[in-house]
Structure 1
Amino acid sequence: MAKRLRSLRPPRAEAAPESPSKAVRLLGSVIAPTTVLTGLLFFFGRQHANWLLDYFGVPLSTMGLTAQDYLVRSADGLFAPIAVVLAAVLVLLWVYRFLRARLAETAWQRLLRAATPVAVVGGLAGVVVAGVGVVHPEAFATSYAVPGAGLSLGVLFLVAASRMPASRTPRPRPAAFATVELPAAFVLVSVGLFWAVADYSASVGVGRAIEIEGTLAVPPETVLYSAKSLNLTAPGVRETTCRNPDSAYHYRYTGLKLILQSGGQYFLLPVQWHKADGTAVVLPRTDALRLEFTPATDPDAPC
């Protein structure tokens, strides 16, 4: 009897597999901006280091900088614009929340319809600026980052305008249009950001190099000890032979400044370095070299 009752029970419905589309969209909404931000930081740091070293005539490849070096170097100049952009986004979100909570539905719809032509004009203006930057880049000789920023902002404005309500009842968009619109807009905004970062990093890197050149005479100074003669003959650099036969380092060099150490390399500049005829020094970091840092150096003092 019990076996017959069990056979009469309806079979259990198997749980339908959960559609992954929602999870994929959520994952993409998190990973995509994070990936772009990381790429921007890395790209900015690399371009920053490249232009800084290029100012002193040192190829970037000789220093062996790592990805971590580039990411750390991106703090010099990029975090301030990112903070400004994020602050602007927060302000816009707060204004949106404030108006949405206090305006009636009809007033809110009228506001959106009035904002649509403003967004269209702003978007077209940004795209035109980007086009001028491609055809005539010399027009932005003093502000190369403007075309890239114009492209990103222009695309954002146009996407916002396309999603604002029209005066008449809008027709439903094709599914294919909705699938292509946001990825295409995301790619264009990312291209504009990398475009702007490339130019901005160049100006920041050269600016930091000029600052370094102007402060070479400011202490502390680097004293370089070497087991063998390095034959450094740059202006202001003096070689002293150490008389002590038991010394591990038989030569001392004064008049130098350590600028950067990375990838097993020392990058030094003479304190009398000038852009026109200066000589940069790149040395491998080995046990045959030793560095000392001092506020003042007497080149005539014994080792």
Structure 2
Amino acid sequence: MPPEDGGGPALGRIVELGLQVLAPVTALTGVLYYFGYIRYQEFFAHFGVDLTSAGITRAGFVVGSARVAFGPLAAALLVALAALAGHYALTPRLTRAGGRPLAALGACALVLAAVAGAGLVGLPLGTALLPPAALIGAALLAGYLSHLAGRRGVPEPLRETFDRTRTARIVLLTATLTVAVFWAVSTYARERGREAAEAFERSLPLQARAVVYSRERLFITGPGVEVQQLTGPGAKYGYRYSGLRVLTHTADRWLLVPPVWDPGTSTVVVLPDMAEEIRVDLAP
């Protein structure tokens, strides 16, 4: 028998496998990018800086969030593995049992949905992460209940309706789970960004010192910032500013802050990275 033209079936399987691998990688990259964006946004907002002024790239959002998000992602995978093991362990018992296990799971899903609803309307629940986590749990339990109901057999009067609404259930549960995941990611990212900014503010005296040399006077002021006019013969720069701390540095700009941060009076100094006009030296 002659081979298939172009290796059709084999190529199709390779493409399908590639898509199966790329889909979760793409989704994970999107979540990491969103997490990094929200975290950096909250961090710089603490110092009154708009995120666009920080010059963080898309790759920077992903790389900067990978280390912080590793713990929650690993925990989520462990929970998923535990749920999968529990499914295989409990399925035979659930199949033989009556409707009580399904009713108990349904009650748990309703309670979790109620907790998520309470968080949406602003009721205090102790932690901001509880409502999105509850919504994730409610969506997963609802999907699992739908799966179990299909395996156990739906009563005949409901069979036709159950079959017709399969696509609608999948779409609704997928949309709910997606919203819940991004809600949880946003909440966690804001908390971590706020914590990082507060920790950075407390450690400002220990951060790397920046010494700025400039040809023209820059009028940089702030508590702990000193300026010295350089008048020596042949001096390339006319002014020297010391005492500043590095908030961040990108390919084309420096963001510097005074060593003592006062939310009411302190400002962030944004300087272009220009070797001819401005030079920034770092000291421990």
Normalised to the residue count of structure 1, the TM-score between the two structures is: 0.78
8 A Cα contact 1:36 1:190, kept in partner: no
Return the offset for 1:144.
Answer: 2.2
Q: What's the offset of the Cα at 1:262?
A: 2.2
What is aligned with 1:127? 113
Q: Which digits, 9 at most, give the CA deviation of each residue in 1:90-138, with x for residues without a partner?
A: 22334445x37xx9x5x4623695542232122112221222222x224
* Aligned residue type for 1:293: L
Give the number of the structure whose residues are more often helix, by fraction: 2
1:74 paired to 2:59? no
Residue 148 of structure 2 aligns with which residue? Answer: 164
Specify the SS of the correspondent of 1:137: coil
Misfit runs of 4+, over 3 Å:
21-36, 94-97, 111-115, 165-169, 171-176
Partners of 1:145 and 1:58 lie apart in 2 by: 26
CA RMSD, 1 decimal: 3.2
Return the match for 2:280 from 280, 287, 291. 291
When residues 83 and 169 of structure 1 are mapped into structure 2, their CA distance, relative to the original with a 3 A threshold, is closer
- Please give the residue correspondences for 1:107-186 in structure 2 after superposition, counting only pairs within 5 Å: 107=93, 109-110=95-96, 115-134=101-120, 136-140=121-125, 143-165=127-149, 169-170=153-154, 171=156, 176-186=164-174
Aligned pair count reads: 274
Identity among equivalent pairs (%): 28
Q: Distance in 2 between matches of 1:124 and 1:28?
A: 35
Relative distance call for 1:166 and 1:193 in structure 2 (3 A) is closer
Distance in 2 (alpha carbons) for counterparts of 1:110 and 1:23: 40
Greater gyration radius: 1
Give how far 1:75 is off.
2.7
- Check 1:114–1:33 CA distance in 2 against 1; reply closer, same or farther (3 A cut): farther
Q: 1:4: which partner in 2? A: none
Mean CA deviation greater in 226-235 or 167-176: 167-176
Is the Cα contact below 8 Å between 2:46 and 2:197 reproduced in 1?
A: yes
- The 8 Å contact of residues 95 and 152 in structure 2, kept in 1 or not, is answered as no
Q: Distance in 1 between matches of 2:105 and 2:172?
A: 18
Equivalent in the alignment of 2:182: 194
Give the aligned residue type for 2:253.
Q
Contact 1:109 1:165 in 2 (8 A): no
The superposition leaves residues 13-35 of structure 1 with CA deviations (integer Å, 9 ceiling, x where unpaired) of x99x98xx999987776555444
Aligned counterpart in structure 2 of residue 240 of structure 1, from 192, 217, 228: 228
Map 1:47-126 onto structure 2 (within 5 A): 47-75=38-66, 77-97=68-88, 99=89, 107=93, 109-110=95-96, 115-126=101-112
SS at 2:254 equivalent: strand
